Amino acid sequence: MFSLTVRRHFMIAHSLPREAFGPAQGLHGATFVAEVTFRRRTLNDDTIVLDIGAAGDFIEEVLAGLNYKNLDEHPDFAGKLTTTEALAQYIAESVAAKVRVGEDGQALSGLAVTLREHPDAWAEFTLDFDAK
């Protein structure tokens, strides 16, 4: 299995209004590093998983809708908690929707999003595809 990982960062504001989140219940900011790993069983004719520039563009398009936004007011998260795990899933599904349109994207076997808010803590969400 081959993989390509591209990393970008973004900043958000949000609250997690449940007792389990302690001081994070109130509105606060967070800076995340998003690592998106694209997986493929065989390389394409150019001997790559996916063009790095194109991969970065897909990620940046998705993160542009989140960067510097208050997720408490974001329509995609109405009534939902924006935990690191939930954001990883949202980013994975959004990037997948963009990348799977192209021929190389259809050949991917999956992708994973790792969100790092701190060097010592992160969450990941993985999607597996049926490659065509």
CATH number, residue 58: 3.30.479.10
State the Cα–Cα distance between residues 70 and 30, nearest whole angstrom: 10
Whether the pLDDT of residue 132 is over 90: the answer is no
Contact 126, 118 (CB under 8 A): no
Domain total for the chain? 1
Helices (H) and strands (E) in the chain, counts: 3, 5
Q: What is the pTM of this model?
A: 0.95
State the Cα–Cα distance between residues 60 and 83, nearest whole angstrom: 20
* Domain span including residue 51: 2-128
pLDDT mean over 12-24: 96
pLDDT, residue 102, reads 85
